[in-house]
Amino acid sequence: MNATEDLNWLDSPEVLDASVQRLKAVKNLGLDVGLDFHGRLHKPMAKQLAKLLEPHRPLFIEEPLLVEHPEALKQLSDQTSIPIALGERLYTRWEVKRFLEDASVDILQPDISHAGGISEVKKIANLAEAYDVSIAPHCPLGPVALAASIQVALSIPNFVIQEMSLGMHYNVEAGEEDLNTYLIDQTVFDIEEGYVKAPTGPGLGIEINEEVVRRISKDTQPWLPKEFYGPDGAIREW
């Protein structure tokens, strides 16, 4: 789940209390949970939030700082026992290497749609294995990217968890389309006991309904990343 709303470079420590309470509420349900900082926090706030969350043992914290700040990520990694996940903003194994060598990442999250496809992600996974780092493919996108990510997950020993966008808020905001909208067989990604079965069909194991793709594409507008600004007009997220 999201860790916080967008914050100032230095904000009141009280704004972090709600994140801790939400984590405790989910843990009380008997569930594990990872918290995604989305790189929205700068170092003064990220280090405070990590310390506050630590006693409640989240599954991981994701992008506690942006990868543009490897030295700060290393400092934060040395200060917390919470596993750190990152990687969706890294595009090749050469970019990943820095974070493996300085031991600032525990869970790598390569995105197959912009990291060079299946071949490059498998190379990233193999490199990560040498540093005892696990792989959790980043995939908030559609069925083709998810199916390709699952194929990678099935073929590497250090796979731990797969992100998927089924029922996520950004699909609802965009319209009625969801992960299964574009599939002919909409049972391929059914979840049972927290697992998705390995696809058995040819290729990636899915069949796209091309008629639906063409129909929806006629009215689809370009997607733009959300921007965050404070009340003074200052940017709060890169």
50-63, pLDDT tens digit by residue? 999 999 999 999 99
Spatial CB neighbours of 69, under 8 Å, sequence gap ≥ 6: 43
Active-site positions read 38, 138
Token pair belonging to 218: 């006629």
pLDDT for position 84: 98
Q: Find tokens 């801790």 and name the residue.
A: 20
Whether the pLDDT of residue 171 is over 60: the answer is no
pLDDT for position 24: 97
Cβ pair 100, 132 in contact under 8 A: no
Q: 65 pLDDT band (50/70/90 cuts)? A: very high
Q: 5 pLDDT band (50/70/90 cuts)? A: confident
The whole-angstrom separation of Cα 171 and Cα 167 is 7
pLDDT for position 115: 81
pLDDT for position 166: 82
Task: Render pLDDT for 186-230 as a digit per residue (tens, 0 to 9).
Answer: 999 999 999 999 999 999 999 999 999 999 889 888 877 778 888
Whether the pLDDT of residue 155 is over 90: the answer is yes
Average pLDDT over residues 31-36: 96
Cβ pair 186, 200 in contact under 8 A: no
Which region, left, alpha or beta, applies to residue 237 given φ > 0 means left and ψ of -120 to 50 means alpha? beta
Class of domain 13-167: alpha beta
The whole-angstrom separation of Cα 164 and Cα 143 is 9
Q: Tell me, what amino acid is at 70?
A: P
Q: Tell me, what amino acid is at 25?
A: A
Cα within 13 Å of Cα(13), Cβ side:
5
Task: Render pLDDT for 92-131 as a digit per residue (tens, 0 to 9).
Answer: 999 999 999 999 999 999 999 988 889 999 999 999 999 9
Nearest to 33 by CA among 57, 14, 65: 57
* Full-model pTM: 0.92
Whether the pLDDT of residue 175 is over 70: the answer is no
Average pLDDT over residues 18-24: 97
